[in-house]
Structure 1
Amino acid sequence: MSQQTTDVDVDARVRSLADAIRESEQYQQFAESQSRLQTDEEAQRLLEQFRAKQQALQESGFDQETMAELKELKQMMADNETISEYEQAETAFLELLNETNDVISEKIGEEFARSTGGGCC
């Protein structure tokens, strides 16, 4: 016997899932690290420099000097505690979301929330 689920039931369950994700340790750490990243002037400066160098490389093509500067900036970013903590928290949160997606996919019997690439047309 199958139970018909109403839109209200689905909405309530989605809100419950969202609340559970928001209450997870992974999300909490991600949100805290994101907040620290946004207020850390040194980290923001490094990120902006890195983006600017990437843009310059895209606009002017391959340039050994710019590549070396990018590599140096990438190392400086890796050494920056705020950026490093953010990247670790982001990775852990994305893993949680991927695991959640996998469980939903298994329950409905098809891929859920995965890009298949391209559009319909």
Structure 2
Amino acid sequence: MIGTLENASLLDHAEELASMVLHSEYYALYQESKNRLERDEKSQQLIKQFLMVRDKYDEVQRFGRYHPDYKSVIKEMMECKRELDVHPFIADYKKKENQLNELLGEVSTILARSVSSSIKVPTGDPFFDRSCGTGCGSGGKCGCRVR
């Protein structure tokens, strides 16, 4: 690949953008929350327990309701997931992770729209990703409104 001044400039801008994200408030809050979660013994115990229950759940899902432990494992999975979701450090981590993900989605959308309005951008939000609002790539043939 022939390195041109334009390619070098583009790489410099990409590195600058990455640095801006890494020095953003969202990333700092995410890292702080992640570190707190990793240091908390109760959180780590809940995660480990959830992973063990999830393995049992995956095994039960292979056979569905015909598995002898189906009801008990499903109940255990729901209880474990609920306990995980309400733990303050885990809930805070998920919140910060979603905020960072939204920032990255916005940056991706801005970059894509600067190239073309018909580029599909996976934002991580299944509600918007499944609709034609992000550009279906068919040029409006499906009946969606091309932006």
Aligned length: 112
TM-score under structure 2 normalisation? 0.69
Shift, 1:60, TM fit: 3.0
Does residue 1:77 correspond to 2:71, yes or no?
no
How far off is 1:114 after superposition? Answer: 4.0
Asked if the contact 1:101/1:112 (under 8 Å) is kept, the reply is no
Query: What are the residue-to-residue correspondences of 1:1-80 with 2, within 5 Å?
Result: 6-61=6-61, 62=64, 63-80=70-87
Asked which structure has the greater RCO (Cα within 8 Å, sep 6+), the reply is: 1
Aligned to 2:103: 96
CA shift, 1:111, in A, is 2.8
2:113 to 85, 106, 119: 106
Q: Percent identity?
A: 23
Task: Please give the TM-score of this superposition, normalised by the length of structure 1.
Answer: 0.83
State the alpha-carbon separation in 2 of the partners of residues 7 and 55 from structure 1. Answer: 47
State which structure, 1 or 2, has the greater radius of gyration over its C-alpha atoms. Answer: 2
Q: Unpaired runs of 5+ in structure 1?
A: 116-121
CA contact (8 A) 1:57 1:66 kept: yes
Q: Which residue type is aligned with residue 80 of structure 1?
A: H
Q: Distance in 1 between matches of 2:119 and 2:52?
A: 37
User: What is the alpha-carbon root mean square deviation over aligned residues?
Assistant: 2.0
The structure-2 alpha-carbon separation of the partners of 1:84 and 1:51, relative to structure 1 and needing over 3 Å to count, comes to: same
- Match of 1:6, SS state, is helix
The 2-side partners of 1:25 and 1:92 are apart by 10
Q: Is the 2:105–2:122 Cα contact (8 Å) retained in structure 1? A: no
Q: Equivalent residue for 2:94?
A: 87
Counterpart of 1:64 in structure 2: which amino acid? K
Partner Cα separation in structure 2 for residue 54 and residue 24 of structure 1? 34
Rounded to whole Å, the distance in 2 between the matches of 1:113 and 1:10 is 20
Q: Is the 8 A contact 1:30 1:89 kept in 2?
A: yes
